[in-house]
Amino acid sequence: MTVLQEIELNILKEVINLLDRNGLHYCAIGGTCLGAIRHNGFIPWDDDIDICMPRKDYEVFRTEVYKQLPEHLKKMDYDVSFSHNFVFFKVYDETTTLIEKNAMYSPDRITGVFVDIFPLDGVPNGTLSKKLWFLRYYMLRKMNDLVRFNDPPESIKQKIKKPFAKALLKVFRYNYFTDRFLKLASRYSAENCKVVHYNGYRPKDTLKHTHVRDYFYNQIEVPFETIKIKIPREYDRYLTEKYGDYMQLPPEDERGKWHNVVVSDMEKPCAYYKQKIAEYMKDNGMGYLVRM
């Protein structure tokens, strides 16, 4: 394991212990599930851990139970960060720093090493209902991104969207579209739908990443490095749907880190970098978009 992976594993261990104590359900997904089966732990070149939780349990954890985590572990979500446009949340170690490219101009969303936690929601069963739901889902996600996310100040995208975002924020609260999106996303309970998805992908990719509900409710425990984690009992079907021949290693040039990390510091707390970047932005007239 790398130092970063070791810290991630320690975070996951604390999260799992807390979820088990409170009777909350989770399931390892994506590369974390694949790593457990193919490597008995991390994919060697992977740089994150992903789990999902049914929306009901997810909200209990995100809003209340997370407070029981050890003091050095904090949450990052749309409630604590003006510019956090993601529709999932992170638990991170504040004694470390891990700055992704998308946080470089948003000090309030800078974190330490983290674990991603995604809500599991249902998808409408009917073809027409699904299309109409997705249209609203897509538009609300895009509006949420528009008013919350800061692109690089000098980028063409930022120069185009900034006037629109400022105009919207004169009329709507910064979390207006977030609230409406979350209401829509949680309308269909995963427990009552045949097909589910874990919220967090780019809006246009949402319908490409749906799976049978039972994958995430019928689970087994498997080794993951020095601990055990829960994964779908039918992991072979799930991983085949997601990755194809998942036991085949990808070509070396396709093995890499996915988070576009620009600062990785296991020694300094993220508060140090938050302050430095905030001061730089203030000195150069780069205020938070959502506070304009």
pTM exceeding 0.85: yes
The per-residue pLDDT for 292 is 35
The per-residue pLDDT for 152 is 67
The per-residue pLDDT for 240 is 95
* C-alpha to C-alpha distance for 103 and 152, rounded to whole angstroms: 10
pLDDT lower than 70: segments of the chain: 151-154, 158, 201, 203, 257-258, 286-292
Q: Collapsing DSSP states into helix, strand and coil, what is residue 237?
A: helix
* Buried-exposed string 233-269: b where 16+ CB fall within 10 A, e elsewhere: ebbeebbeeebeebeeeeeeeeeeeeeebebbebeee
The per-residue pLDDT for 170 is 82
Tell whether the torsion through CA atoms of 50, 52, 58 and 64 is positive or negative.
negative
* C-alpha to C-alpha distance for 237 and 249, rounded to whole angstroms: 18
The per-residue pLDDT for 258 is 67
**Cα distances (angstroms) measured from residue 8 to each of 61, 95, 200, 281:** 18, 13, 19, 30
The per-residue pLDDT for 280 is 83
Q: Collapsing DSSP states into helix, strand and coil, what is residue 96?
A: coil
Of the candidates 79, 83, 90, 88, the one whose C-alpha atom is nearest the C-alpha of residue 158 is: 83
